[in-house]
Amino acid sequence: MKQEIIQKFEEKRKIITSEALEYLLGCAEPEKIAEKTLEETDGSFIELDDVKRKKKKFKPEKVEIKKGKSFKPKAKDIEPDIKIFREKEVTGNSLSEGTEKDFHKHFLDRFQRLSKILRKRGKAKRDLASVKKAGSSKDTQAIGMINTKRRTKNNHYFMEIEDETGTLNVLVPKNNKKLIRFSHSIIEDEVIAVEGTLKNDLFIANKIIRPDIPPKGHKTPDETVRVAMISDTHFGSKYFMKNKFKKFLSWLNGEKGNGDQRKVAGEVKYLIIAGDIVDGIGIYPGQNKELEETDVFDQYEMAEEYLKKVPEHIHIIISPGNHDAVRTADPQPALPEKFMPELFQQDNVHRIGSPGYISLHGVEILVYHGASIHSMVPHIPNLTYREPEKVIPEFLKRRHMHPLYGGKPPISPEPKDYLAIDRVPDIVQVGDVHRNGYETYRGVLGVNSGTWQAETPFQVKQGHEPTPGELPVIDLSSLKINVIHFNKGEKK
């Protein structure tokens, strides 16, 4: 589509600016608007305003939210305490050109980060070349990235691991039933340490160790301060649950809920949105039939109108997802300011990438949209879309948010691997699969924050069962969760 549009302008000896082209490609009927722009615009250069003038002006619904008259939120008197770890996300730091050299740097950085964790625990001080050079011996240790894994005809597991110096063949014997069970869950591209016997260049494993996280203690605030977590709002979809989201906004403003729920609402100081703000365009076959707004800019304008109703004392942290107008490859940069300019100019709104790493009152939170769940579920036994929260411990065990290269979504080969978890968070928030779930692993709270989109025909075909309108609210002083249900009554 992009090349065809550019060709249209070249044939008329006109040059379209990159900003105007990007805007045009986000419109519902880019070819028609391009033709109209060419017909009615003089001059050799096509600017952004030239394209905007040819597009029908979108007028978003005016969002009316009731506010509680006697509502005095405690959080209004709490000073915000936010730190964004910019060095841990790709926003403004992307250097990848997709070259072979970039891929080499990316996987080398991943290996070095994760093998460093294993080496700190005293595992395998030598590289693979040195291990092989030392010859046959017992009680040998080695660290490598899984290159291939297969089950043999005799029910052993055979793996090839590699580091920057070479490869090593590893055998997990079938009589070691515990290790065979462990090997079921090993996937390509994760980094492991192996212990065992080297015999004639074949490493016979008796133990496999992952980087894993240590049991986690917490630094928490002394006073009660809460963070609400949402994701997958999908503004612009016919299935976006407007009424339920308005109830949620009214609740934040002290209008809805019983006494206890109003108390919780008054203690909410932060709102984190973990991606898929809008439904986007061309994400899956037949999506246009499921859209209320068929222009991505209009979808964001709609989102902006709703999110501006969040009380000013609540700080909003926004991370992108695979439906949003940034690259689909992980890691994703933060949403550009141009999509919701009024909202993003507010002092209480913060943009981060995916993954993004933040601290709220000393509680560290790793925010990731979670699209790599689609790679993890098919490759690891006992994982299902019905319990997406159980994927989070698998991320933590491997110290990586997207360990399997070649799955969904694609991985951009950044020289620095921003998906590696070399700093252990207190909370991990994901979304994407539209189903709420909560899991604690070694002291780290995992949250899948569900959706505000009703079940779509596409999801029915995929066999997904969403849980829309369920809001997890976490008390940062204890990491305890309150779940507020807005999913009763009307469907939308």
Q: Where are the domains of the chain?
A: 2-53, 74-93+221-485, 121-209
State the amino acid at position 304 in one-letter form: E
Distance CA 245, CA 241 (A): 6
List, for residues 413-454, the tens digit of each pLDDT value: 999 999 999 999 999 999 999 999 999 999 999 999 999 999
pLDDT at 18 over 60: yes
Cβ atoms 106, 414 nearer than 8 A? yes
Cα torsion 372, 376, 378, 384 to 10°: value is -100
* CA dist., res. 356 & res. 182, Å (int): 30
CA distances from 408 to 89, 138, 376, 379 (A): 19, 40, 9, 12
- What pLDDT does residue 123 have? 65
pLDDT band at 492 (very low <50, low <70, confident <90, very high): very low
- Is the domain defined by 74-93+221-485 classed in CATH 3.90.1150.10? no
Q: Are 470 and 453 in contact (CB under 8 A)?
A: no
Asked if 350 contacts 383 with a C-beta cutoff of 8 angstroms, the reply is no
Average confidence score pLDDT of the chain? 91
Q: Which distant-in-sequence residues (6+ apart) come within 8 Å of 434 by Cβ? A: 232, 450, 451, 453, 459, 464, 466, 467, 468
Instruction: Record the pTM.
Output: 0.88
Fold of 121-209: OB fold (Dihydrolipoamide Acetyltransferase, E2P) (2.40.50)
Q: Between the CA atoms of 321, 324, 330 and 333, what dihedral angle is there, to the nearest 10 degrees?
A: -100
pLDDT digits (tens, 9 = 90+) for 229-244: 999 999 999 999 999 9
- Is the fold of 74-93+221-485 the same as that of 121-209? no
